[in-house]
Amino acid sequence: MTSTSSGPAYTIQTARTLLRCWSPADAARALRAIHASLEHLRPWLDWAREAYPMSVSQQAAVLRRFRGRFDLGEDFTYAVFDRGGTEVLGGCGLHPRVGEGGREIGYWIASEHIGQGLATEVAAALTRVAFELEGLRRVEIHCDPLNVRSVAVPRKLGFTHEGTLRQRLRSPDGGWRDTMLWTLLAEDHAARPAAASNLEAFDVLGQRLL
């Protein structure tokens, strides 16, 4: 799936964050945030469990792949920075892996910044971008029902809990864990909290899109 002719949004500013396409030059900052958060991330995210720790050069290669896929319109993975663009607060993405007309929102927040509502703020911004800029008809969020912080995000944003897929993914201990499926449709977006989120979105040339 590729973005519309007016997109994608390479930079998104919210009240407290700056989201932008990852660059290989962000590798050292990304690695510091990830390595400091591994204990927090590993129970829920396969990549945190399987790929880390890694070196700065390895992280740069990962971010280079992210940037390449972003530029080609294949997948949209963002860094989450503070408003000044200096500290990595986490990461997020709009991922076209849920079928035609849809995107899945993913997010993680560095351990020292959890509990501040940043994941909700970021997911709200990506929801607006998906519907108002990309013209999609469906946005999904998938999460483990035991990850109470992650579950709170779609609930706060007015997504509908479509169901829980039982024993869907492997757990860290080698067993199986469930996955909750949350969905928001384009026709419901205007009446949900994400539609009122404060943001500005810009294309690769810095021209405002939203």
Number of structural domains found in the chain: 1
pLDDT of residue 169: 73
Give the CATH number, domain containing residue 162: 3.40.630.30
Residue 207 lies in a domain: no
Answer yes or no: is 6 within a domain: no
- The amino acid present at 167, given as its one-letter code, is Q
Residue 4 covered by a domain: no
| 86 inside domain | yes
Task: Give the distance, in angstroms, between the CA of residue 190 and the centroid of all CA atoms in the same chain.
Answer: 21
Domain range for 23 is: 11-202
Give the CA distances from residue 102 to residues 74, 135, 153, 163, 182, in Å, rounded to whole numbers and listed in that order.
Answer: 13, 10, 18, 17, 12
Amino acid identity for residue 88 in this structure: V
**Predicted local distance difference test score (pLDDT) of residue 22:** 98
What pLDDT score does 5 carry?
47
Query: Is the residue at 1 inside a domain?
Result: no
Supply the DSSP symbol for 66: H
Q: Which ranges of 8-164 does DSSP label H, i.e. alpha helix?
A: 27-41, 46-50, 56-71, 118-128, 148-156
Query: Would residue 50 count as lying in a domain?
Result: yes
pLDDT in 10s for each residue of the chain, 210 residues: 455 546 799 999 999 999 999 999 999 999 999 999 999 999 999 999 999 999 999 999 999 999 999 999 999 999 999 999 999 999 999 999 999 999 999 999 999 999 999 999 999 999 999 999 999 999 999 999 999 999 999 999 999 999 999 987 767 677 788 999 999 999 999 999 999 999 999 999 999 999
In the chain, the amino acid numbered 190 is A
pLDDT on residue 86: 95
Instruction: Output the pLDDT for position 62.
Output: 98
For 73, the token pair is 């319109």
